[in-house]
Amino acid sequence: MSLQNDIMEGIKTAMKAKDTVALESLRAVKSALLLAQTETGANGEMTSEDEIKLLQRLVKQRKDSANIYIQQGRQDLADPELEQAAVIEKFLPAQLSEEEVEAVVKKIIADNGFSGMGDMGKVMGVASKELAGSADGKTISNAVKKALA
């Protein structure tokens, strides 16, 4: 529940500062949190892992939208998406750099004796669990491909 409190404080701060980008972003996070808590099968509580996954999904959606807008030559639409992604990322744990992710992946490969692209799925499974919340799936996937190639 601390994430919800942090989001509410962020909303209050954004309202006082008249920061429309932050306000819109935080309201979207609040809405997504409420939907996730009330969806079928949910018990009304979210673990911190679930909250991190939700925030990562929201950031990814915005970055993907921005990439599509940029491909279509609409920088005016991409900029607000990237700004919202930056606001939401502030609530995520610190992300590891690509070099740090590669080091962790190499250690996983060495510890478990994986070799070759045939083991990519196994490496991804272990790496995704170990790096959950501290790196996105695309970065992990690129590091695994690079290490196994």
pLDDT of residue 44 exceeding 80 = no
pLDDT band at 41 (very low <50, low <70, confident <90, very high): low
Would you state the pLDDT for residue 143? Answer: 86
Taking the C-alpha atoms of residue 26 and residue 6, their distance in angstroms, rounded to an integer, is 10
- Using CA atoms, how far apart are residues 139 and 10, in angstroms rounded to an integer? 28
CB atoms within 10 A of CB 5: 9
Q: Which residue type is seen at 2?
A: S
Is it the case that residue 16 has pLDDT exceeding 90? yes
